[in-house]
Structure 1
Amino acid sequence: MSKVLFIVGSLRQGSFNHQLAADAEKALAGKAEVSYLDWSQVPVFSQDLEGQTPASVQAVRDAVAAADAVWIFSPVYNFAIPGSVKNLLDWLSRAVDLSDPTGPSAINGKVTTVSLVANGGHDQVADQYRTLMSFIRTNFVDQLTFSRVNDSAWADGKFIASEEVSTDLSKQAEALLAALNA
């Protein structure tokens, strides 16, 4: 069974993106093994740290290397990829062997996809992810899911995917699995 690693781009407890990830996990039930990446301790990227590879960075690299696919659930911050997610991807995209900076990275060649939960900026951020994920040499599955936050979630913290979002999420899961089996 394929291993799909979920990266939830918001570290907030009960984040709307984590709740969408839980819906995606249901869409993959019985079809793939899902795990969630703990990247909360990854430091800001610095070449001063790169030579010693912090333990938290090695742990996320190992988790990504062990996965067949990576699915990112991302908020939109100021119509852009959140800086924290970009920082994580910067660490993951660096060559494993520093003597060859063009060599493979932990995320190199992985099947990847992105879902976005935000109240605006979906198209702009999707384009940013398309460009970035291609540049860092992933096999990007361009079947994305965009969702707005339901109004009641701002009061009760409960994200509810619309029927359309649930359908899109199922299609995205199937596209991801098809890319893994291609």
Structure 2
Amino acid sequence: MSKVLFIVGSLRQGSFNHQLAKKAEQALAGQAEVSYLDYSEVPVFNQDLESPAPAAVAKARQEILAADAIWIFSPVYNWAIPGPVKNLLDWLSRALDLSDPSGPSAINDKLVTVSAVANGTSPDEVFKHYSSLLPFIRMQVLEPFTGVGINPEAWGNGELLISEEK
């Protein structure tokens, strides 16, 4: 059974992207083993911290290496990739052997796709950022990416509704 690692771009408990990830997990039941990457302790990237890698970075790398595919559930922050996700990808894209900076990284050749929950606007702008970044950091991109709008009542009750039409 394939191992799919979910990266939820919002660290907020009950975020709309986390709710979307839970729906995707249900859809994959029996077809893939799903796990979630906790990257909340990954520090801001700083080349001075690279060796030895911080424990949170080493743990994230191990989980990435064990996965067959990565699925990013991304909010749209000012039409761009959220800072915590970009920071994580910066760490993960670094060579595992720092004596060879062009060598393989933890995410090298990993299959990846992106879904996004967007508020009132299309997630196309953030998808453009991912479409240029992910191949550059040597990931195998699976498109099309998928976007979901936020139902108006979600702002009051916190529950993202996903219909078959979306």
**Residues 74-97 of structure 1 deviation map (CA, whole Å, 9 limit, x = unaligned):** 000001111111000000100000
Alignment partners' CA distance in 1, 2:59 and 2:151: 35
> How far apart are the structure 2 equivalents of 1:161 and 1:135?
32
Identity over aligned residues, as a percent? 65
Provide the residue aligned with 1:33 in structure 2: 33
Q: What is residue 78 of structure 2 aligned with on the other side? A: 78
Runs of 4+ in 1 over 6 A off after TM superposition: none
Pairs within 5 Å for 1:131-170: 131-165=132-166
Q: Which has the higher helix share?
A: 1
TM-score, normalised to structure 1's length? 0.89
Structure 1, unaligned runs of 5 or more: 166-182
Gaps in structure 2 of 5+ consecutive residues:
none
Q: Over aligned residue pairs, what C-alpha RMSD do you find?
A: 0.8
- Partner of residue 89, structure 1: 89
Aligned position for 2:66: 66
- Matched letter for residue 151 of structure 2: N
With normalisation by structure 2, the TM-score equals: 0.97
Preserved contact between residue 76 and residue 121 of structure 1 (Cα < 8 Å): no
Figure out how many residues of one structure are paired with residues of the other and give that number.
165
Distance 1:23 1:5 in 2: 14
Please list the CA deviations of residues 96-150 of structure 1 after superposition, one character each: whole Å capped at 9, or x if unmatched. Answer: 0000000000000000000011112511110110111100101100121101111
Q: Which amino acid aligns with 2:144?
A: Q
8 Å CA contact retained: 1:80, 1:121: no
Supply the AA of the counterpart residue of 1:62.
Q
Amino acid at match of 1:81: I
